[in-house]
C-alpha cells in the first residue's frame, strides 16, 4: 500500500486555512502545494480540480473532503492536508461542511496510485478518534505527526 508520507510533505500540512467557499479552499491548498514544492501550472491544476468537483462532489461526510484530480498542471502526485478555519460545503452526503480537507493531485497516468491513496485517506478520515485529534491539533507540526502516526 502506498505510504502517505511519500506524497505528503510536512510543509503541505496546514491549520486554520481561511476560505469562504470550496473554490477558495481549493485555491488555498494549491497555493500551499506550489509554495512547498512547486506546481507546474497552479491555475490549470485549480481548473482541473474544480472540473472534477463539478462532475461529483468530493465531500466524504463527517466534516471531511478529498478534492482531487489528475492534471497536466502537476508533475508528480502530491497531497495537501488542511484544517480549515471555518467549514466549507463540499457536497457531502451527510450535508456536513468540511473542516478537514485533503487535496490530492497528480499526473494523468496516476489513477492506480490515487485509488490506493484515496482508500487510505478515507479510512483515516472515517476514524472518529483521528478526526477529533486532527481538529484539536494545536499546530501543523502536531497535525502532520498525527497523520504520519496513522499511516500504516
Known catalytic residues?
68
**CB contact at 8 A, 80 and 57:** no
Instruction: Name the 3-class secondary structure at 89.
Output: coil
Instruction: Name the 3-class secondary structure at 21.
Output: coil
Nine-digit cell string for 132: 477529533
Other Cβ atoms less than 10 A from the Cβ of 42: the count is 17
Nine-digit cell string for 40: 507546474
Q: DSSP alpha helices (H): ranges in the chain?
A: 4-7, 22-37, 42-55, 111-125, 128-136, 140-150
Cα-based angle 77, 118, 127 (whole degrees, multiple of 5): 130
Instruction: Name the 3-class secondary structure at 113.
Output: helix
Dihedral sign, Cα of residue 36, residue 4, residue 30, residue 75: positive
Amino acid at each position: 500500500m502506498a505510504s502517505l508520507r511519500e506524497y505528503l510533505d510536512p510543509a503541505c500540512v496546514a491549520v486554520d486555512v481561511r476560505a469562504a467557499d470550496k473554490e477558495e479552499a481549493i485555491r488555498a491548498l494549491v497555493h500551499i502545494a506550489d509554495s512547498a514544492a512547486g506546481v507546474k501550472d497552479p491555475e490549470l491544476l485549480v481548473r482541473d480540480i474544480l472540473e472534477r468537483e463539478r462532475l461529483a462532489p468530493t465531500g466524504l461526510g463527517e466534516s471531511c473532503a478529498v478534492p482531487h484530480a489528475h492534471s497536466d498542471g502537476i508533475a508528480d502526485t502530491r497531497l495537501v492536508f488542511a484544517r480549515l478555519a471555518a467549514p466549507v460545503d463540499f457536497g457531502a452526503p451527510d450535508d456536513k461542511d468540511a473542516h478537514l480537507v485533503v487535496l490530492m493531485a497528480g499526473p494523468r497516468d496516476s489513477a492506480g496510485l490515487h485509488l490506493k491513496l484515496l482508500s487510505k485517506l478515507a479510512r483515516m478520515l472515517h476514524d472518529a478518534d483521528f478526526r477529533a485529534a486532527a481538529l484539536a491539533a494545536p499546530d501543523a507540526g502536531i497535525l502532520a505527526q498525527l497523520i504520519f502516526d496513522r499511516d500504516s
